[in-house]
Amino acid sequence: MTTPDVSIAIPAHNEERYIGRCIESVMSSAQRAQVNAEVVVALNRCTDGTQAIAESLGARCVVEERKCIAAVRNAAVRGGTAHALATIDADSWMQPHTMAELIRHVNDKRYVGGGATIWPERWSLGIVLTGFVVARYVIDKGISAGLFWCQRDAFEAIGGFDERMVSVEDVDFAVRLKALGKTRGQRFGTLWRGGIITSCRKFDHFGDWYLVRNPAMVRRMFDGHDRRAADQYWYDVER
């Protein structure tokens, strides 16, 4: 059996509404770039049709039931077999040229890994201002997020995503990946042209102005260990 060029890890909790579009975007972008990509979906407390949809599209599914997104991300990554890997959320999708940019960067020894630009599926003034509210917590770190990519040895060298955290585990992962790169003489990269598009379901649920009007919630989420805030905004939101 041929080893895939890249493993795409997707965490999923009741994602039947989005998982199909996500996987199809990965496969389409990979085909366009002539890349052999495997997709691994980590099922987390799923009670809907997520698994059936994912498997019908050729994805491999693993199960991680803990109420911890970091653990779910790790399960998806470690369920893959390729040396190169990337993560994407189930409610996001790749653009046609994303995979080509990803492969070009992840195999470039100048980079330890990196993130990507994130574009919302729709725009509003509230969404734009929310971006500024969130940016103040990450802009000084020199990182990007959305879709993380690196070689498997780098992922394991930093211990993957920190399972002690219940939120912003992605920001923490990026910071530690960047620090590893500094010790190796490598830099943290960003897929500027090959970014991703993400759903606005949080804005649809809470309202476009919710985080602008609730800066205390943003602070609590960026603490990384506030279970009540994480449950309220992520884990216990109806899907």
Given this model, what pLDDT does residue 194 score? 85
Which tens digits make up the pLDDT trace of 126-174? 999 999 999 999 999 999 999 999 999 999 999 999 999 999 999 999 9
Average pLDDT over residues 87-105: 98
Residue 2 clears pLDDT 90, i.e. is over it:
no
Which tens digits make up the pLDDT trace of 211-236? 999 999 999 999 999 999 999 999 99
3-state helix, strand, coil in the chain (%, to 5): 45, 25, 35
Strand positions, DSSP E, the chain: 6-12, 37-43, 60-63, 84-87, 92-94, 111-120, 145-151, 187-198
Distance CA 162, CA 173 (A): 7
Q: What are phi and psi of 66, to 5 degrees?
A: -65, 145
What is the band of 1 on the pLDDT scale with cuts at 50, 70, 90?
A: low
Domain 6-235 fold is Spore Coat Polysaccharide Biosynthesis Protein SpsA; Chain A (3.90.550)
Total-model pTM: 0.97
Which tens digits make up the pLDDT trace of 172-211? 999 999 999 999 999 999 999 889 999 999 999 999 999 9
Given this model, what pLDDT does residue 141 score? 96
Given this model, what pLDDT does residue 38 score? 98
Cα–Cα nearest to 95, from 12, 15, 26, 23: 26
Cα–Cα nearest to 111, from 185, 182, 183, 187: 187
Percent of the chain past pLDDT 70, that is, above it, reads 100
